[in-house]
Structure formats: structure tokens, C-alpha cells
Structure 1
């Protein structure tokens, strides 16, 4: 290692022993890796869904059977887009890898998206085949997409088929009201049963795939800055991120590891870390269709997993729920948090219940998604989002000029280059040009800095930055201060317009059960922790704070709420 290496890549000196930053990255497509894993692992358990298990052998057979049927019976060709609209189930895993196996492209759809959002994603991507479940919550919108003319064929799985014997019978008897009747729907003429396609036992034809250029997943951004855009992730991008994390884990994501999958696979974080990362290595995935505390506790007690991928709100819920004892979490050795910033309060509270190493990571859809992670061999550095993972290059550039790097230690926008970074946005050359620098670095729109040891620290989102009377005010710093108050359970800070200061912070707060606090009391507490321009103009107390599908606190919903309930211009002076 030369001094030039350290100057250009300051994180290298802090790298975990035995891991080389410039190590070669395997970009073999993940469906090839998984099918090889299925052949190697045989009857070992690959998936555990609410007690129903699927062996690697069976998983591989079903992936190939569905892939063959998609080709032969539905005419899916290389490059075709196939939409997946379902929560975590074995059906999702089978469909995902079957689509990749035949060179088609997965278009993930969030089941809780509005019909308008789903219509945009399906029509923009050109996906004419949609794979879903016969749950009313998913099938109702799938049916409407057919009615709009976007979808030409629906492949529908029968949800009870994923359950173990007794639960399958009970669900059909007691929960039948939750099931749709596809055969009697307006879309009945285009419905094909998932089970029928598997039962045909087709053998898929070989497809030549260019890993570097062919798109494996077209993942739509959340639309937080406008209409969702389709990030085109190549087979090499998806495989590279999986390989980078496998190297980072130094064998952690191999047998006998069990990874908890309660985050939804249709989200990029779970798709990579909860599904491809363990399964391609032969490790087991234990999953739930959605997070429910009672079901999660039962899963932990029954399966005793050792790795949990989580968003901070999930960790916060576990830390403060009285039903989650230390024994429930005792099997966990590692918890890896991503999706949004991890507060010190949540870190400390979770640490009181679990001895698991809690590592924070960072990523974005356009990077498949992970770009940094705390080392998994040692205690993490508080406040940092870790080190760039192997083969990932990060620079900090000026907020005013993304072509200009800032001095070490200064704050600026994080820009990223690596084998996991997307090809670009689908049918949007202008947005693609805007998101890359002239040197090919992906602009993240996140503000951060390197410390003296090369660890990356995240400050806030550029779009969340509040400029108040000329000062840069970061909501995350205000939130960290509010969390210091013992009565606060959750908080989320947004910027709102102000006639005098331009913008001012407003804090939304949820209190812990049986706690009381008013605005004056919280502001008095915050005077010792915040500067004058950081002090919230208002504190709004709510019984619940809005969250996204994966459990991140949603600033977008709060901005909309504030606009509805307050005048557009404040009068603070």
C-alpha cells in the first residue's frame, strides 16, 4: 500500500484485518450462484416461512420450472420486464430468480403503493406480465392494472399454499375473507395460476446474459423528489454488491447462519441483504410476510436466527417493547441497520436488550444498495456509517459544485463509484446525466464527511437541509437532541417556510407510553443542546408518526400534513 493509496482512499488504514479493499469482485449473475447453491446444498433448508420449509433442492427445481413455463407458456423473452407485486413469501423468491434465469428483468412493486404509483411503474417499465398473490390487498390493484390496459397477463399464487399444513387449513377456513377470487374477477381471462405453471415442469432454455450490460432489476426510487425513476441495475451490479458484502462478512453469511427477513424483498435493501446474500452462500432465510411484533417474537423463539437486517425504527420497537426480552434476542450475534440514520438513543436502548454487534450501514437504490458498512469484526464507531465496502470509492464534493472535492474533514455531498452502481435511469437520459459527475461518480444527495481514520459520517439529506437566516441546519442534529429527552419515543424534524428566516425547523414528536411533556418543557430541555437557529419553531405532538413501507419515518408525509394544517408562510420574527 502506497501513501498515495491512503491519501486517495483514507479508509484503507482502518480496514478489518484479512479484508483487502481492492480485492477482485465476483459478478457471476446471482441466479447462477443460487442454482449452484441449490445443487450443492441439496436437502438443507433454504427458506422458512411461518414454519413451512423449502429445501435448496426444491427451491432450485421450482425456479427452473417457473422459468421454463414463463418462456414456453407465456412467451417471456430476454429483456422483457416482469413485475412482482407481493410481500415476502417463497413465491417471491421463486419468481425473482426465475425471471433472472431467462434474461428478463424484475420490476419490483410495493403492494402498499397507490394505484396511481403502480400504474406509473408498470406503464413506464413496459411490464406486461405481473406476478402476484390472491390476497385482496395485492390482487385488487393487480386486477385494476389489467383493466387499465397496462398488464396483459396475471400470474397468481394461492397464498395458503405457502403455509404449513395446519395453518393452511385454518387460513382457508378463518381468513377466507382476505382472499380474492381471481377466477371470478374482471381479469379472469388473463389469470394464470402460479401452481399450474410449476406443475408443467418445463425445462428453461439457455439464455446468453451479458452481466455488465443486461438489466437484472429495474428498481423504482421512492419518488421522494418527484415521479419515481427506474434505476437499471445490471446482473453485474446486483452480483457485485452481494459479493462485496460476502467478503465484508468474512464467512458470516454462509451456513450455519440464519438471516431474519422481515424487511420486504421488494425493497432493494432486503432484496440484496436478506435474500441474495444468504441464499447464494447456502445460508437459511427465515421470513415473515410483514413485521408484526407477536409473530416476530414467535419466529425468534422458534428459529433462533443469528443475523438480523433492520431499519432503525424496527430496532427501536424491539428495544422498547416489553414483550421482547433479552432471551428473545439472545440468538442474535449481528444486527445490521440501514435505510435511514440510527440514533444514539436507539443504539443504546437496543444494546440493553441484546449483546449482538449492532453495525450501521448506508446505501441507496442506485447502488444495489450498499456502499458503506461498519466492520463486523469489532465494535462499531459511534456516529459513523462505517467504511466503504470493497471496491467502493467515495469522495466528498462541494455542495455548490459536485465537480470539486472538499478538504478532508469538511462536509459535502457523498459521491460514489463502484461495480454496484447502476447503469442509469430507464428512458431518462437527462436524469442520468444529472446524477453522475463528469468522472463517473454517482451523486447521492447526502451530506457527510470523512473523519481522521477514514470512517464516513452522514450528516443529512441535501433536500432535508434547512437554511435558516443563512445558517445550515441539519434535522438529524435536532432529532438527536430531542431523543435525549427520556419522555420521547420517536421524533422527525422538517423544514417549513418562514417569512423572516426563510426556513425554520418544526419537530413532530411521539411520546412514550404513560409519559407527559409539552412544547414549553421540551424547548426548555433543548436549550442546553441546540443553538438558537436550531431550536424548533414548533413542536407538534402526535400519537403516531407516519412511516414508509419498510418502517422509515417519513418526512414527506409530515410536509404534506404541515401544508394542510398550517398557513404556507410562517410569521416568526
Structure 2
């Protein structure tokens, strides 16, 4: 039996660099040998629980070594990992678990109450809490020690599914993007080539591993190269600066908001940042103010563009071109191609705006259980249709002009207006709604809801937010609600959201 996917990585790292530090977490160093041994224990436990090749294993928890132990333990069996966003509301968690067909869920104990609330939304899988637990209810750590040693090796090909990552749905429900072992391997190689990851790197991981960017372009390339991850449970600007200085961090990934909060922190000016060599930023363009603050400290960014369906990297802009090509998201990654097509699927000349299409071994296999959406996502010749508008300049650099699907990116989180609009429409008194993204100094964008209401109805920001609280993640809830007499529409009845964004731009 040969595992050609991620499930082979731990054994190879244990053989090649057994005593190298793989993780630093909460002051503890974990070697590659220890990480690999723990992954084997998880494999044995999951096998004992009936997990076989192709079964889905979900994980709901904050960043911790156990996330990676479960990930590698699952893929060693040929199982499929389903990371669950910890910010999802109970109905959204239930959807992810049901849609993925998860057979088992590993979760942090603090999410037990949320899971109980999700029980009414559908049947939940077998559950294991992280940590030690109690004699009556042993947790993952205790169960790993008592699981029978050994497990059968699975035959795994690069085309086999490795993970299902849920991305906000344009029609109200999140879709599960199926990422293969090949997808995650090739995106790791893209990062190693384009971001020059080396075995001596020390990467500070401040973003949640359930995000495809943190996993596909953060943890996995570093592990593949045998470098070290300083893993943080969450993000705190002051602690991040402290960790950079203490561990001589060389690599850091984040979104504009995280970089801004660090630059605004009182410790920014006195923290030793001299070890930092590679900063990558995604989610949205880095504001000039942030570029200036970091350049004053001798630091510059790699920026990029991508999405869950591309594992997620599609393009990268090197630090050397940050100013010369400001506003661009860069060139296609080394093993990835990008082209621009018009509404008829024909290629357009350089400088012409059209839909961004992407091809390469990092492009996903399709949407879980949704062949119609999968078919619609690809062109007849197999390129992924991003749904975003952009153009290539004379040098081949990509510029994103607009979001064809009106997606909002708030603090690195994707928000699809249709999902929010469907729920706001259910509120008593609402007769029409349009959710738009508005500029925000801290988060890049935040959602606003522009609504029309029935005469005499009492609808305001507080009512809308109360209606949505518990139904969707809080970052998706509109920060402002504007009541209007009429929504601007096209002749076909579609809301002209660009008009609304322009109308409220100065508010």
C-alpha cells in the first residue's frame, strides 16, 4: 500500500528530521518525531472508531497541535478532513457536518454548548473532545494513549480527496470545496517556490488553521520543507510582536487588519523585527498607510490573490514589485495559470476587463455533493471560473477590478451577500434588501444592509442584528442598516449595488 498524499509526510519528516522542532505552542517545543508519533496515535484511534478511506473527519477548534495531529492522523488512513470555522453559528455548523457526511467530530470543549444547539439542526457524528477530559469522559489526548497500536496503511493517490473546506454560498448555503492531496501538495510547492520557504524558516501562525490560506499556504508548505511553526491559539497584536522577537520569526502571514493592529500597537516601535524576512498578505490589498509603516522598518510584503477553490493561491506579487505594481495582485504562481475571458468565454486582449479564469494542479476537484455547481464552475476546456472581474497588464500582472459575485471580504473572512439577504428578508416588515460591502479602516470592508420596509413596520439596525444573531456568524451581520423608500434596480429587476456603494461612500 502506498500513500502518495499528505499521509506520507509525517513518516518522511520523522525519518529525515526527527529531532527538528516542528511546532512551538504555548511555550512547548514539539519535534517532527513527536508530531509524527502523535499522528500515528490518532490514526490508530480513528481506525478503532471505524474510520476508513473516504470517511469525513471534522475538526472544530482553535489552533493547537491537536489540529495537525488529527489532520495527519486522518489523511494517513485516506480519510477526508473537514475543518470547521469556529465562528459559525449552530445552524451553519450543522450544515457543514451534515453536508460533508462527517463520521466523527473532534472539537474543543468550549464549543460543546454550540454543538448541543446544533443538534436540533440535524444528526451529529460521533464526537471526541480535545484535551485530557475526565475518567468518565476521556478526551482526545487520553484516548490516543489507550488506542491499540497500529493501523492498516491506505492506498492514496494524489487525485483522492484530502479535505473539504466550506466557502460561503452565493445561494444561501455554504458549499464544500473538495481539495485533493494533489491540490494541497501543489499549492505547497507554489509557496515554496514563490515565497522561497527554506528549512531554517520560523513561521509565526496567527491565523486560524481552519482557513484554507493558513492551511494550504501556511502550515503545509512549512511542514513539507521541514521548517518550524510558532503556533498561536489566536491573534493578539502585542503577543504576536513578542513572539517575533522571542523566537526570531522569519515568516509571517496575515490579512491587512492584522498587520495594521500590529503597527498600531504601542510595542511596535521597540520590538526587534530584524529577523523578519517574508511577509505575506492576502484577503484584500494592503493600504498605503500599512505599506509605509512596514517599509519604515525595512519590511515589505508579498501580496496575492486566490480563493478556497484554488487551495487557495492563484497569484503572488513579490516584495520587489510592491510599489511598481501597486494595486496588482501579481503574477500567476509557478505551477498555476491565469487568463481573462469575456462573457462569451473568449479570451480578451491585455488591459481588457473580463472574468478571471484559473488552471493548474492546485484547482479543486469540485463541490461536495453538488455536481450542478461543479459543472457551472468550470469552462468547457476545464478552467475554473473565479466569478471575479480583472485584467492582465502588458507584463502579465493581474489586477482585480471587481467581484462579479459581490463577495465582501471583511478582515480576511468571505461574506456572500445572498446568504445574509435571504435571512434579512425573513424579518417581519422587510420588503426588500441589498447587502453591500462598505470600506472600513480596521476590517477593510464591513457589510451594510440597505432595506425597504412595509409602511408602519419597525425595522432598524438593532432589529436586523438581533434577528441574525445566532443564525449566521457575527462577522456576516451588517454593521449598519439603512432604510430607503426604493432600491435602485436594472430593467431586469436586479439591484444596482454599485449605485448603493457610491451613494453611501461618504457616510
Is the TM value for this pair above 0.5? Answer: yes
- Separation in structure 1 between the aligned mates of residue 440 and residue 230 of structure 2, nearest angstrom: 34
Gaps of 5+ in 2: 422-433, 444-460, 462-473, 489-499
Displacement of 1:464 after TM fit? 3.1
Contact 2:388-2:404 at 8 Å conserved across structures: yes
SS in 2 for 1:226: coil
Q: How does 1:402-417 map to 2 (within 5 A)?
A: 403-417=345-359
Aligned residues: 441
SS at match of 1:340: coil
Quote the Cα distance in structure 2 between the aligned partners of 1:241 and 1:130.
26
> Is it true that 1:267 corresponds to 2:214 in the alignment?
no
Structure 1 CA distance for aligned equivalents of residues 106 and 442 of structure 2: 41
1:182 is displaced (CA, Å) by: 7.5
Q: 1:201 Cα deviation (Å)? A: 5.7
Match of 1:239 among 166, 170, 185: 185
Question: Given that residues 46 and 54 in structure 1 are in contact (C-alpha distance below 8 angstroms), is that contact kept between their aligned partners in structure 2?
Answer: yes
Q: Is 1:318 paired with 2:262?
A: yes
1:156–1:506 CA distance, 2 compared to 1 (3 A): closer
Q: Aligned match of 1:369 in 296, 305, 312?
A: 312
Aligned pairs for 1:179-194 (under 5 A) are: 193-194=140-141
Counterpart of 2:371 in structure 1 is 429
Q: 2: distance between equivalents of 1:462 and 1:346?
A: 27
Q: 2:153 aligns with which of 206, 211, 216?
A: 206
How far off is 1:38 after superposition? 2.5
Superposed displacement of residue 377, structure 1: 6.8
Offset at residue 114 of structure 1 (A): 0.2
Cα distance in 1 for partners of 2:233, 2:179 equals 25
- Using the TM superposition, give the Cα deviation of residue 309 of structure 1 relative to its aligned residue in structure 2, in angstroms: 0.7
Q: Does 85-94 or 141-150 show the bigger shift?
A: 141-150
User: Retained in 2: the 8 A contact 1:238–1:272?
Assistant: yes
- Counterpart of 1:107 in structure 2 is 82
Task: Kindly state the Cα deviation for residue 424 of structure 1 after the two structures are TM-superposed.
Answer: 0.6
What SS does the aligned partner of 1:453 have?
coil
Alpha-carbon shift at residue 121 of structure 1 (Å): 0.4
Equivalent residues of 2:94, 2:124 under 8 A apart: no
Number of the residue aligned with 1:77: 52
Determine whether 1:567 maps to 2:484: yes
Cα pair 1:338 1:361 within 8 Å, conserved: yes
Change (3 A) 1:34 1:377: farther
What are the superposed Cα offsets for residues 334-359 of structure 1, whole Å, 9 maximum, x if unpaired? Answer: 1001122322332223322x322311
Which of 380, 389, 401 is matched with 2:333 structurally?
A: 389
SS at match of 2:102: coil
Q: Distance in 2 between matches of 1:254 and 1:45?
A: 14
Counterpart of 1:141 in structure 2 is 114
Shift in Å, 1:240: 1.1
TM-score for the superposition, normalised by structure 2: 0.79
Contact 1:316 1:350 in 2 (8 A): no
Partner SS, residue 111 of structure 1? coil
* Counterpart among 145, 152, 156 of residue 125 in structure 2: 152
How far apart, in 2, do the equivalents of 1:377 and 1:201 lie? 53
2: CA distance, partners of 1:154 / 1:386: 43
Decide whether aligned partners of structure 1 residues 300 and 236 sit closer, same or farther in structure 2, where only a CA change above 3 A counts.
Answer: same
**Cα distance, 1:569–1:293 mapped onto 2, change above 3 Å:** same
Residue 30 of structure 1 contacts residue 280 of structure 1 at CA under 8 Å; is this kept in 2?
Answer: no
Question: Contact between 1:146 and 1:152, CA under 8 Å: does it hold in 2?
Answer: no
What does 1:232-381 correspond to in 2, within 5 Å? 232-249=178-195, 252-325=196-269, 327-352=271-296, 354-375=297-318, 381=325
Shift of 1:253: 1.9
Any conservation in 2 of the 1:300–1:329 contact (CA below 8 Å)?
A: yes
Q: Cα 1:276–1:89, aligned 2, differ >3 Å: closer, same or farther? A: same
CA deviations 1:153-185 (Å, max 9, x no partner) are 212222xx7xxxxxxxxxxxxxxxxxxx7878x
CA separation of 1:284 and 1:397: change in aligned 2, threshold 3 A: same
Q: Using a 3 Å threshold, how does the CA distance of structure 1 residues 507 and 128 change in structure 2: closer, same or farther?
A: closer
Relative to structure 1, the CA distance from residue 240 to residue 91 in structure 2 (aligned partners, 3 Å threshold; closer, same or farther) is same
Q: Distance in 1 between matches of 2:39 and 2:53?
A: 16
- Conserved 8 A contact 1:38-1:282: no
Superposition pairs of residues 510-529 of structure 1, within 5 angstroms: none
Preserved CA contact (<8 Å) 1:128 1:150: no
Structure number, greater radius of gyration: 1
CA–CA separation in structure 2 for the residues paired with 1:154 and 1:234: 25
Q: Displacement, 1:273?
A: 1.9
**How big is the shift at 1:150?**
2.5
Contact 1:153 1:192 in 2 (8 A): no
| Change over 3 Å in CA distance of 1:192–1:334 after alignment to 2 | closer
User: Could you report, residue by residue, the CA deviation over 1:466-493 in whole angstroms, capped at 9, with x for unpaired residues?
Assistant: xxxxxxxxx99xx9xxxxxxxxxxxx9x
Residue 68 of structure 1: CA displacement?
1.6
- Aligned to 2:314, the other structure's residue is in SS state strand
Cα distance in 1 between the residues matched to 2:199 and 2:189: 16
Question: What per-residue deviation string (whole Å, max 9, x for no partner) do you get for residues 426-466 of structure 1?
Answer: 1111111111111111111112111111111122211339x
User: Hey, what does 1:89 align to over in structure 2?
Assistant: 64
CA distance in structure 2 between the aligned counterparts of 1:277 and 1:504, rounded to whole angstroms: 36
* 1:257-276 per-position Cα deviation (integer Å, ceiling 9, x unaligned): 00110111000000112211
Q: Which residue of 1 aligns with 2:167?
A: 221
- Counterparts of 1:268 and 1:366, CA distance in 2: 9
Q: Structure 1 residues 568, 263: CA separation in 2 closer, same or farther (over 3 Å shift)?
A: farther
Mind listing any 5+ residue stretches in structure 1 that lack a counterpart? 1-26, 162-180, 466-474, 480-491, 497-502, 513-539, 541-552
Whole-Å separation in 1 of the counterparts to 2:82 and 2:125: 15
Instruction: Please report the TM-score for the alignment, with normalisation by the length of structure 1.
Output: 0.71
SS of 2:179's equivalent? strand
Contact 1:132/1:142 (<8 A) preserved? no
The answer to whether the 8 Å contact 2:167/2:177 transfers is yes
